[in-house]
Chains A and B, each alone.
Chain A
Amino acid sequence: MSAPHPIGGLPTEALPQLYLDGVSRAFDGFKAINNLSLVIDKGELRAVIGPNGAGKTTMMDIITGKTRPDTGQVLWEQSVDLTKLDEADTARLGIGRKFQKPTVFESHTVEDNLALALKADRSPWATLFHRTTAAETARIDELLGLIRLGNLRDWMAGSLSHGQKQWLEIGMLLAQDPQLLLIDEPAAGMTDAETMWTADLLKSIAGERSVIVVEHDMEFVRALDCKVTVLHQGSVLAEGRLETVSAMPEVIEVYLGR
């Protein structure tokens, strides 16, 4: 319906991992996403900020096929039309998502949580007759180390602390071995130390994977030290380094201003 917005600083040589153009979605007349366009490069780390109701969650819903956009196109690696797929498809395609409220499988052990997330055949038959392999165990150990839950592998996930659940969920994301990670407010409810550590973790992930982080916590965003997209009323208000955008009057007006 509308022409693609000019996007500042897109390195022309890199292939976009994800490409949203003129995407809109309304709920009962309220436009949650309004003519949104966004491009994420392979391996890019991108922070998305914006006030409540700016459409961050809906954007993620659209990318992961949970919500169908009314208009606009969403392309994966310039070929796959994500608007045709549902959550399971996009997940199998290599898009991992972490919810705002950490959701892990509370009645399974930490280990099972990771095991269930591991990249593998997801069909009922496969899972029915599945036997755990040494490779899988090794990968699980590795992840447990990475998210610092090695000593809790047999705990019920339900009994973990909030922060630990955050990490476990990130761990499950990594276990999926996705190309793109969508991460919704990872720092929520973490100590400063944990926050910083999480930021490092994400930066280390970026590079071979693309990462989109939605966050309120400016400290955290600054720590990420990456390109920032400011969403407002369902469309891109500004894009660039945090310093640059946070200097823009309109951004201050809608967001930092308060």
Chain B
Amino acid sequence: MLIDRRLGIFLAGLFVLVVVVPAGNLWLAGQPVPTYLVALIGKYLCYALLAVALDLVWGFCGILSLGHGAFFALGGYAMGMYLMREIGDRGVYANPTLPDFMVFIGWKQLPWYWWGFDHFWFAASMVLLVPGALAFVFGWFTFRSRVAGVYLSIITQAMTYALMLAFFRNEMGFGGNNGLTDFKDVLGYDLGGGGTKVGLMVLSAVALAAGLLLARAITVSRLGKVLVCLRDAESRTRFLGYRVEHYKLFIFTVSAMMAGVAGALYVPQVGIINPSEFSPANSIEIVIWVALGGRGTLVGAALGAILVALAKTLLTGWLPEVWLFALGAMFVLVTIGLPTGVLGALEGGLARTRRAPEPAEREA
């Protein structure tokens, strides 16, 4: 069925969040939920959506993408470009059309690939199309030539690494190392305002819920079953007449779009998008969220993302000098101690029969 127990509980949790946080931040006396917390939760939810996107391809289709950060970042840039254009002539050089950094590197007019981003609808569609298109083209070649396993993982890493270097270049016209920042408002709402923050956080929660439902709907459909087939026994699936590459391409593209949306919601909430989002390390961290939460469980992935992000926030504040020890130890212990991830551990025995036998052997 579409909404099983674990998903139901998680969605309920999200719903509570969507009710409690705005109330606590905007309406309740004494603001029990500080604005700072709102921004933080919003950020976590974006990470969670990104993790779900990766779990869709890795957990159910066996595609270990070490480049999903790229799709996230591209979605973020698309949104960032819109936010830049929103600034209009309120930049430090008061240039009505050019963003500050372009004035700064002495450009005279807006490059063609920035056209249209002053319209929200255009930017919004780019948030889906750009990551989707990249995933489609990349996947089209890669899956057709049957690149698999670590080879696939490493070239996805090469992809995001190349993009990072490209976006670092100032000639690219995306603000180079500084990226896009100093946003003023979105659709006329002041990004500094508490209301906007709450709105974005709620939007992220909704997006996460929608993402989970979509992912769940896909995985319970027959297509989802075929995905598991080709994860566990690819050639058998081919001999049944399934075009494995088409399935991989489909899910990879969908996942990339989901990541793009996560990125688009992330940028206005953190206030900056820059090439370091493309860095291979970031993409690896996404994999870690999923593995830690529980691969192939969607909800687990979301949970993993939130837990790691939470741990980071707390540790960098509590033990700034040694927090990496704690985080590293956490990864090691979870891997050895909880082979089925946090969710698996939580659900205990239940997980073992439900979850697929580890397909890793076949991949490696």
Residues of B within 8 A of A86 (CB): 238
Residues of A within 8 A of B355 (CB): 107
Contact-residue bracket for chain A: 20 to 34
Residues of A within 8 A of B247 (CB): 124
Residue with the highest number of chain A CB atoms closer than 10 Å, among B228, B232, B239, B243: B239
Q: Which chain B residues (335-364) contact chain A, with CB distance < 8 Å?
A: 353, 355-357
Residues of A within 8 A of B232 (CB): 105-107
A55 adjacent to chain B (CB < 8 Å): no
Interface string of B270-295 (1 = CB under 8 A from A): 00000000000000000000000000
Shortest C-beta distance, B51 to chain A (Å), equals 21
Q: Cα distance A87–B240 when bound, in Å?
A: 8
Contact of A87 with B238 at beta-carbon distance under 8 Å, contacts A116-B222, A130-B221, A158-B357 already known: yes
A124 touching B229, Cβ below 8 Å: no
The chain B residue with its CB closest to the CB of A132 is B222
B9 adjacent to chain A (CB < 8 Å): no
Shortest C-beta distance, A91 to chain B (Å), equals 3
Interface string of A49-85 (1 = CB under 8 A from B): 0000000000000001010000000000000000000
B223 adjacent to chain A (CB < 8 Å): yes
- Of B221, B238, B244, B356, the residue contacting A127 (CB under 8 A) is B221
Contact of A105 with B228 at beta-carbon distance under 8 Å, contacts A124-B246, A129-B221 already known: yes
- Of A88, A103, A128, A176, the residue contacting B233 (CB under 8 A) is A103
- Of B240, B244, B246, the residue contacting A116 (CB under 8 A) is B240
Q: Cα distance A99–B234 when bound, in Å?
A: 13
Contact of A124 with B223 at beta-carbon distance under 8 Å, contacts A107-B228, A107-B356 already known: yes
Interface string of A161-176 (1 = CB under 8 A from B): 0000000000010001
Residues of B within 8 A of A196 (CB): none
Q: Cα distance A115–B226 when bound, in Å?
A: 11
Interface string of B232-268 (1 = CB under 8 A from A): 1101101111111011001000000000000000000
Shortest C-beta distance, B159 to chain A (Å), equals 23
B225 adjacent to chain A (CB < 8 Å): yes
B218 adjacent to chain A (CB < 8 Å): yes
Contact of A87 with B239 at beta-carbon distance under 8 Å, contacts A108-B228, A158-B357 already known: yes
Shortest C-beta distance, A59 to chain B (Å), equals 15
A91 touching B238, Cβ below 8 Å: yes
Interface string of B68-80 (1 = CB under 8 A from A): 0000000000000
Shortest C-beta distance, A247 to chain B (Å), equals 36
Interface string of A88-128 (1 = CB under 8 A from B): 10011000110100011111100010011100001110011
Q: Cα distance A123–B241 when bound, in Å?
A: 10
Q: Which chain B residues (205-238) contact chain A, with CB distance < 8 Å?
A: 218, 221-223, 225-226, 228-229, 232-233, 235-236, 238
Q: List 6 A-B contacts (CB under 8 A).
A: A97-B239, A103-B235, A108-B225, A123-B243, A130-B222, A158-B357
Residues of A within 8 A of B (CB): 64, 66, 86-88, 91-92, 96-97, 99, 103-108, 112, 115-117, 122-124, 127-130, 156, 158, 172, 176
A87-B238, A108-B228 given; name 9 further pairs at CB < 8 Å.
A64-B239, A88-B243, A88-B244, A105-B229, A106-B233, A116-B229, A122-B243, A127-B225, A172-B240
